[in-house]
A = this chain, B = another copy of it.
Amino acid sequence: MSDLEKPQRDKKQFLEDLVRDLVASYQSESSMQHLDSIFLPNRQKTIEIIERLRKLVFPGFFDEQRITSENVSYHVGELLVQTHDLLYEQVHQAMCYGQNERGETDNECDQCCDVAMEATEAFMRKLPELREILADDVRATFDGDPASASTDENIFCYPGIDAIFTYRMAHELYKLNVPLLPRIMTEYAHNETGIDIHPGATIGRRFCIDHGTGIVIGETCDIGNNVKIYQGVTLGALSTKGGQDWKGMKRHPKIEDNVTIYGGAIILGGSTTIGESTTIGGAVFITQSIPSNTTVSMDNLDLKIKPKRERKNK
């Protein structure tokens, strides 16, 4: 073997070994691959659906062309058809995937198509109603924030509106028992905004989020009307020691109407209820129910203010 050939042969060997080892690793860690499967929905297309729904719900804000009263019907019609078809495709994939996960046979795949079409159309039919609900959310966000210059600004660039919009879409699909898609959608909003709302949570009207980064709203939360929450608020589970054993149980708090929760407050537990019209102060830590019409802050929370000692280093 000449010297010239040797390194190439070595590189070829290196490559072949690595390919073989990786493919072997795919076979041994079956939870880490999705080979031979046709059912997984497509994350990128699911995000595209959300972006098209955003244009349908807020016409004229995110479009590249100008929409006028004269042409809006054509625009909406075309967009609806595209969104409907994209959504049907992904709902169908998700339904087949769900069936497969539950170990059901392939024979009922025709049924998948029907169920997916029903879910898709039921969702689409809800859009006008969802717009009404979102209009209230936008109004509440504007009314509650002196820094907001107009509802246009809210729609255009408030992460709170972005997260609520995506949650309301995803929650509707969640109620229609569509697997995976709702979570992909809310995690997309989580990525964009830092606001993590589980699609299973129940949230009333005129919901308002300010700043938002670091908010967590768990799967079994139940939130009333006119609720306002700030950045860093957690509405979470008390403990997750049980892991999957807790599945399906109520693990997250109930927040009644007209409650305000300031930044960094942590409210935990499935039997915790924050009563109507109560205000939770910033950074409060709560694992018990709170009566209505109260304000809550930390007791004994005094500041320790000391003069600075002379720093030696630096």
Would you call B82 and A61 a contact (CB within 8 A)?
no
A21 at interface by CB-CB < 8 Å = yes
Query: Closest CB of chain B to A238's CB: distance in Å?
Result: 9
Residues of B within 8 A of A43 (CB): 62, 156-157
A126→B142 CA distance, assembly (Å): 33
State the majority secondary structure of interface residues on A: mixed
A300→B303 CA distance, assembly (Å): 9
Chain A window 2-37, contacts with chain B (Cβ cutoff 8 Å), 1 for yes, 0 for no: 000000100110110011111111100101111111
Indicate the member of A74, A75, A283, A286 with the most B CB atoms within 10 Å.
A74
The count of identical subunits is 6
In the complex, residue of chain B having the shortest beta-carbon distance to the beta carbon of A155? B32
Query: Closest CB of chain B to A6's CB: distance in Å?
Result: 13
Interface residues of A in 262-312 (CB under 8 A from B): 263-264, 266, 268, 277-279, 282-286, 288, 290-291, 293-308, 311
A58→B143 CA distance, assembly (Å): 39
Residues of B within 8 A of A22 (CB): 56, 76, 80, 127-128, 131
Residues of B within 8 A of A248 (CB): 146
A218→B82 CA distance, assembly (Å): 41
A38→B21 CA distance, assembly (Å): 29
Q: Known: A25-B132, A77-B71. Is A145-B240 also a contact (CB below 8 A)?
A: yes
A131→B246 CA distance, assembly (Å): 28
In the complex, residue of chain B having the shortest beta-carbon distance to the beta carbon of A313? B242
